[in-house]
A and B are shown apart, each in its own frame.
Chain A
Amino acid sequence: ILNVEQSPQSLHVQEGDSTNFTCSFPSSNFYALHWYRWETAKSPEALFVMTLNGDEKKKGRISATLNTKEGYSYLYIKGSQPEDSATYLCAFLRAAGNKLTFGGGTRVLVKP
């Protein structure tokens, strides 16, 4: 079983502050990294799919970077708002693989 880890497990952020957290994955046989956001009582929703080393993706105030050589991805939230409160999941796909391996998630709580 592949090792995909997210840290921290949870974090509290003051409204308006920026924050970031990490997804670590195997640096060999990389094919793609997915990020999902999972709000309470809703379905997980896709944020980004990243495939190239050095890739940067942005969606509104949320952005992500990818380093496949060292096996990590950062997710950034700029100017956090209460609606950003959710669990953020990353998922790794290895080359020639056909299934995602998810990390444990980072639970973000934005306090007004």
Chain B
Amino acid sequence: DVKVTQSSRYLVKRTGEKVFLECVQDMDHENMFWYRQDPGLGLRLIYFSYDVKMKEKGDIPEGYSVSREKKERFSLILESASTNQTSMYLCASSFSTGVETQYFGPGTRLLVL
């Protein structure tokens, strides 16, 4: 079974703090994704990566950056957390883009005070 793990289930941070969300997958997938989920808005893509050190902006990249130094690990960075970044963050991976199923982690619920 594919396993996607995220470093924290719940996180509380203060405005202005730098926040790291880590995601690890164990199936040698090429592609990894970071989404955020807010009520009524579904999943919105923040960034994705199709190879090590490669990244591409999603629909809402502002205020975020990412890092993919190793194939299995994809990090989401909030350089200076703000209250409007309070959300559920989901990581996903897939073997390739398109018709391949994405496998999701359990999510990190981030509260920025």
Q: Could you tell me how many residues of chain B have their Cβ less than 8 Å away from some Cβ of chain A? A: 26
Most buried by B among A42, A51, A104: A104
Cα A42 to Cα B104 in complex, Å, equals 9
Count of A-B contacts with CB under 8 A? 62
Is the Cβ of B102 less than 8 Å from the Cβ of A1?
Answer: no
Please report A residues at the B interface, Cβ cutoff 8 Å. 1, 4, 6, 9, 31-32, 34, 36, 41-46, 49, 51, 89, 91, 93, 97-105
Contacts of B33 in A (CB 8 A): 99
Picked from B50, B98, B99, B106, the residue with its CB within 8 Å of the CB of A43 is B106
Contacts of B50 in A (CB 8 A): 98
Is the Cβ of A32 less than 8 Å from the Cβ of B99?
Answer: yes
Cα A108 to Cα B27 in complex, Å, equals 31
Is the Cβ of B104 less than 8 Å from the Cβ of A51?
Answer: no
Contacts of B104 in A (CB 8 A): 36, 43-45
Is the Cβ of A100 less than 8 Å from the Cβ of B99?
Answer: no
Is the Cβ of B98 less than 8 Å from the Cβ of A32?
Answer: yes
Cα A99 to Cα B61 in complex, Å, equals 14
Contacts of B98 in A (CB 8 A): 31-32, 93, 97-98
Is the Cβ of A98 less than 8 Å from the Cβ of B105?
Answer: no
Is the Cβ of A99 less than 8 Å from the Cβ of B45?
Answer: yes
